Amino acid sequence: MYLKNLINAVASLDSMPIEVEELTKHIIAAGCQDSIIFHPVDEDPGAFQGLFYQYTTHAGVYSTPDFVTLIVFSKHLPLEWQRLVCCKELIHACDSDVERTNTADEVEALLEKVLGPLTSQDFGLADLMAAKDKLAIYQALALLFPPEAWAQALAYVKAADDEAAAVERVARWACIPKDLVAFALTDDWPSLRTALLDSWGE
C-alpha cells in the first residue's frame, strides 16, 4: 500500500528536486509509520552513510503507542548523496523483518557484503540484505527521478551538443548523483524503473 502511495505521489511530478521529507507524508498516510524523523550526524561518510532506527513512544500510560522511524545520515555527504541515502533508508524502513539487520554480527556481515562482491555461491541472510541494500539505491533513484522529469531530462540531453555537460546540469537540477543520472538517462530506463518498483512488492 505504501508503495502505491509513493509511486502515485511522484508519478506526474516534473519540478525537481523532489523533497525526501515530502515522501514521508505518503508513508505515514499509508499507515506504515506514525512519525519519520531525519537526523544528520557528524560521521565520516567513508565509514558511515546512513541507517534507521525504529521505536515506539507513548504519550501516556494508557495511550496508543506511536511507531517512529529515525533516519540518521552523515552530514558530510554531498547533498545529492544525503538525499539518496535518506530515500534508501526510507525504503528500508518498510522492509520485512527478515531483511533487516538486528545484531552486531548481522551488521558486520552486511557491511562485508555491501563492500565486497556478491557471488551466487555465497547464500544466506547477509547476502539477501546486501542485495536489498544495493537494490534500494536504484529504487530510491526511481522515486527521486520520476517519469515526467526523466522524459524532460532525456530530451534535453539528447538535444545537447555537449552530452556530459548536459548530464551534469540535469544532476544539479534533480539533486541526484551524476553517475546515477547518467545511468537512468537511456531509453531502457522506463522498463527498468517499472521492474525495480515491482520488485519492491506491495
The whole-angstrom separation of Cα 8 and Cα 171 is 23
Burial of 182 (0-12, 13-18, 19+ CB in 10 A): middle
Integer angstrom CA distances of residue 184 from 2, 8, 167: 24, 20, 10
The whole-angstrom separation of Cα 17 and Cα 70 is 22
- Determine the pLDDT at residue 126: 62
Domain that holds residue 12: 2-200
The distance between the two most distant Cα atoms of the chain, rounded to a whole number of Å, is 65
- Determine the pLDDT at residue 142: 92
Smallest CA-to-CA distance from 92 within 102, 100, 84, 82 is with 100
74 strand-pairing partners: 41
- Determine the pLDDT at residue 99: 47
Mean pLDDT, 10 residues at a time, the chain of 202 residues: 70 87 84 89 92 87 88 96 94 62 53 51 64 85 93 96 97 97 95 82 52
Give the SS3 label for residue 29: helix
The whole-angstrom separation of Cα 2 and Cα 14 is 21
Contact 130, 146 (CB under 8 A): no
Report the predicted TM-score, pTM, of the whole model to 2 decimal places.
0.81
Residue 50 has φ and ψ, to the nearest 5°, of -175, 155
Residue 50's Cα: distance from chain center in Å? 11
Integer angstrom CA distances of residue 129 from 21, 36, 86, 99: 25, 22, 17, 5
- Determine the pLDDT at residue 45: 92
Smallest CA-to-CA distance from 20 within 36, 3, 43, 41 is with 36
Domains contained in the chain, number: 1
The whole-angstrom separation of Cα 157 and Cα 166 is 5
